[in-house]
Amino acid sequence: MNLAFRFAGFLFFGLLLAACGGGTPPPPGSITLTVEDPMGSFNAAAYQVGSGSWQPLTLTGATTKTGTFNLNNQTRYGVAVRCSGLVVKVIQATASELPNPKLECSSAPSNVPFTVSISVAPGLYAAGDLVCVNNTGCVPAGSSVSTTLNLTSGLQDLLLTLVSAGSAKVAKVLKNVNVTSGGNTSASLASADQLPPVGLSLPTPPSGYTIQGPGALVFYLSGSSGGGGVNASLTSYRPVSGFASGDRYAARVVAQATNASLSSTQFFTSPPSLALPTPWPSGSLSVPSQTAHPTVNGLSRSDADLQGYRINLQVPAQLYYTASLTKAWLGNASSYTLPDLSASSLLGYTAPTSGSGSFKVSAILSSQPLFALDNPSTFGTFQPGDYIQEADVSTNSYTVGGGNLTLP
């Protein structure tokens, strides 16, 4: 198991959620869009009130940009940005669900060099083992090792793992480490830090689906910051020495079928009962015409915990379009069309008229109101028992200019 790869995948899921996190609180009767852009990738923004026409939105600020518009007694709205030339991100929501939308055009790199020196007790490690910090900066295990990695500055928790063939033999958290440029800290992995693994029971996948692995990816999430993968095997995890109040684990299970997948991330402190969402029925979604701004029919799931939908269209080197729409914004409607914001007065991109790529529709389910959370990618709001689930259908054979498409 490649734990660094697995944790990166988990963070990628979090970044998708971050597209809808809360930003600057708005004044009454208005919406304030916040765009995070420390690397200068922002190009343009637009907004919609009710079902009216889209309008350009002026943003001010440097690394954090904001723009405000009036709702004019409406409850539904849309915001959109173009980043890095070809990336379009849209949110369609209601003011009660998401009064302060946030979108990310770029993120600040972790560029502060910091050294962690670690002593490892004899008998814990063997030839080929690695010592890792936050699942990165891995070095061959020995009685005394050090690793320098790039981190964000400030107080944070660091996860130390002793890894054998991709599985955590020991996991320990260092609390409240003050990370400064060129700084360092020391730690130890003792025999007492090696806690016995805890097993997990995998859910039974629906007919036609196979659990990836097969197993669950298990992560330690610090109550303040930091974390990483702690799988002892595909069906067990290594408890973290130093685990404290506010810390959690998260288990992620993915089941795949032809042109479809199901995923579930459950937060816990004791082994959870893992479950997968209900798959999309065969042929339940249709796209009448494969254009740069397609219409999707069949967005009518009745899950009690449905938060909304995400639609993603990628035509490589031409357009990367993601739209997130909340359950309340969609209301009783079951169809949605990706807004054409290509006009130079709006986002100003070139809509492809040919080319092939991928297309995906996701139903987002959760015990938490995902679209309203402030920076859900940190997972700080999620408590033991909470979960995030996705039911996806997709194709890698989307052809701009093509005809009717049925999924899955």
Radius of gyration of the chain, Cα coordinates, nearest whole angstrom: 23
pLDDT computed for residue 110 by the predictor: 79
Burial of 171 (0-12, 13-18, 19+ CB in 10 A): buried
Q: Is residue 329 domain-shared with residue 188, that is, in the same domain? A: no
Instruction: Report if residue 2 sits inside a domain.
Output: no
Q: Is residue 264 domain-shared with residue 128, that is, in the same domain? A: yes
pLDDT computed for residue 111 by the predictor: 85
Q: Is residue 237 domain-shared with residue 318, that is, in the same domain? A: no
pLDDT computed for residue 184 by the predictor: 98
pLDDT computed for residue 230 by the predictor: 98
Q: Is residue 292 domain-shared with residue 402, that is, in the same domain? A: yes
pTM for the full predicted model: 0.91
Q: Is residue 84 domain-shared with residue 151, that is, in the same domain? A: no
pLDDT computed for residue 6 by the predictor: 43
pLDDT computed for residue 224 by the predictor: 82
Q: Is residue 162 domain-shared with residue 126, that is, in the same domain? A: yes
Instruction: Report if residue 280 sits inside a domain.
Output: no
For 139, the token pair is 């070095």
Instruction: Report if residue 6 sits inside a domain.
Output: no
Residues 6+ apart with CB under 8 A from 153: 112, 179, 180, 181
- Supply the DSSP string of 116-133, one letter for each residue: EEEEE-TTT--TT-EEEE
Q: Do the Cβ atoms of 252 and 216 come closer than 8 Å?
A: yes
**Rounded Cα distance, 67 and 325, in Å:** 20
* DSSP H stretches of helix in 153-215: none
Instruction: Report if residue 4 sits inside a domain.
Output: no
Q: Is residue 236 domain-shared with residue 300, that is, in the same domain? A: no
In the chain, the number of structural domains is: 2
Cα dihedral angle (143, 149, 153, 157), rounded to 10 degrees?
-40
Q: Among 211, 233, 268, give the residue marking a domain's end.
A: 268
Instruction: Report if residue 377 sits inside a domain.
Output: yes
Q: Please give the average pLDDT of every successive group of 10 residues along the chain, which has 408 residues.
A: 40 43 63 97 98 98 97 97 98 93 92 96 97 95 97 94 97 97 98 98 97 96 90 98 97 98 97 96 98 99 97 99 97 98 98 98 94 62 94 98 98
Instruction: Report if residue 8 sits inside a domain.
Output: no
**Rounded Cα distance, 112 and 109, in Å:** 9
pLDDT computed for residue 254 by the predictor: 98
* Residue 398, amino acid: Y
Instruction: Report if residue 378 sits inside a domain.
Output: yes
pLDDT computed for residue 1 by the predictor: 47
Q: Is residue 230 domain-shared with residue 156, that is, in the same domain? A: yes
Residue 77's domain comprises: 13-106+286-407
**Rounded Cα distance, 239 and 197, in Å:** 6
Q: What is the side-by-side strand order in the sheet with 231-233?
A: 198-199, 236-237, 231-233
Distances (CA, A) of 264 to 144, 200, 307, 337, 378: 39, 14, 14, 27, 17
Q: Do the Cβ atoms of 305 and 16 come closer than 8 Å?
A: no
Q: Is residue 102 domain-shared with residue 114, that is, in the same domain? A: no
